[in-house]
Structure 1
Amino acid sequence: MLPTLRHGPAILRPLKASDADALHAAYGDPDSMRYMPHKAHDSIEQTRDKMLSMASGARSGWHWAITTDGGECLGWALLLKETPAQVNLGYILTPAARGKGLAKAATAAMLRYAFTVLKKNRVEAELDPRNTASARVLEANGFVREGIRRQGYVRLHGEVVDNCLYGILASEWTAANGGDEA
């Protein structure tokens, strides 16, 4: 069973089907989706389908709802399976939840889980280089910008864009977190 994670203002609880309504505030918002590979969802059903396909896909992994003490779903945090030693980290927040430190705190909680519970050696994240807010979140959590895949990302509407790769190793995370065992 997936545990609830806590760090700072963020509480990450297992994602539920009923969270689709709240998550549609992000997935249905063109501004929230401007750096994603697909356009904003037209319906809550599309958001539900996205949740189901991600949770059951080959790279399924671990999925949480980002909440605070109020318990309302404010975003989605995930670690996707890549290799036995590595996971890919991602998140999305509803527009109302941005700018409150939730992405930074959720990322910190997922890193602790990836390194101390899952015993992964590497966590990576990919983003559109224009997504400077996510770059700041990753860098604040110790991720290193490893490079750009030039025209390495094709959006569903055909636009070809660069893709920026970030990574953090267990040894780096352990050193930055006071020797917590990874």
Structure 2
Amino acid sequence: MATITTPRLILSPFRPADWNFFRALREDASVMRYIGSLAAEKDNRLLFATRLNAPHTFVVRTHADSTALGDIGLRISPQHRDEADIGYMFIPQAHGKGIASEAVRALCEYAFTQAGVNALNAWVLAENTGSVRVLEKCGFVRTQMLEKAYEIDGVHYDDWAYRLESTAC
């Protein structure tokens, strides 16, 4: 499995030792408020097990510190192997420091040059202004708005679709 490096970051495959980070990230209500309901530990364990063996999924750390800051990955479509969805989440201490933008740019480059992908799609809630900024700074273009299409804990949110094609880079 690949490791991706940037001037500040290392994106490395998940290891069993990343479980505590993974669980804490998904139990943080401030992180999950734009992603989904808090899940039971058994469900998070199942999700973590898939991350351990999934290609194109990474834990993000800085070169200077081994503390995990977030996770990021691609899900390549089985029907359209030249497209993938990109997803990411970061601890609150990493917000507003350009870490997500740097990691997303690095993963986009990896997707286009090593994973055989020609287009990336991202879904973000309209209220998640930080993630919207990250996607737009990285060249993603909003292609669709689905009104009140995503539900978290009984609340409906507008869901925005973004796309980046390799020709745009």
Q: TM-score, normalised by structure 1?
A: 0.82
| Identity rate, percent | 28
Structure 2 contact 8–62 (Cα < 8 Å) conserved: yes
Structure 1 contact 22–73 (Cα < 8 Å) conserved: yes
Structure 2 contact 76–82 (Cα < 8 Å) conserved: no
Structure 1 contact 123–168 (Cα < 8 Å) conserved: yes
Query: SS where residue 37 of structure 1 aligns?
Result: coil
**Cα displacement string for residues 94-145 of structure 1 (whole angstroms, at most 9, x for unaligned residues):** 1222222111111011000110112211001001110000011011110001
Distance 1:127 1:91 in 2: 10
| Structure 1: gaps (5+ residues) | 174-182
Structure 2 contact 118–166 (Cα < 8 Å) conserved: yes
Structure 1 contact 23–74 (Cα < 8 Å) conserved: no
Distance 1:66 1:96 in 2: 13
Shift of 1:55: 5.7
Counterpart position of 2:106: 109
Distance 1:15 1:72 in 2: 13
Query: SS where residue 71 of structure 2 aligns?
Result: strand
State the one-letter code of the partner of 1:19: D
Query: SS where residue 135 of structure 1 aligns?
Result: helix
Distance 2:72 2:140 in 1: 17
Structure 2 contact 14–51 (Cα < 8 Å) conserved: no
Structure 1 contact 75–91 (Cα < 8 Å) conserved: yes
**Cα displacement string for residues 77-108 of structure 1 (whole angstroms, at most 9, x for unaligned residues):** 11012221100011111122222211111101
Counterpart position of 2:16: 17
| Structure 2: gaps (5+ residues) | none
Query: SS where residue 10 of structure 2 aligns?
Result: strand
Asked whether 1:160 is paired with 2:159, we answer no
CA RMSD of aligned residues (A): 1.9
4+ runs deviating over 6 angstroms: none
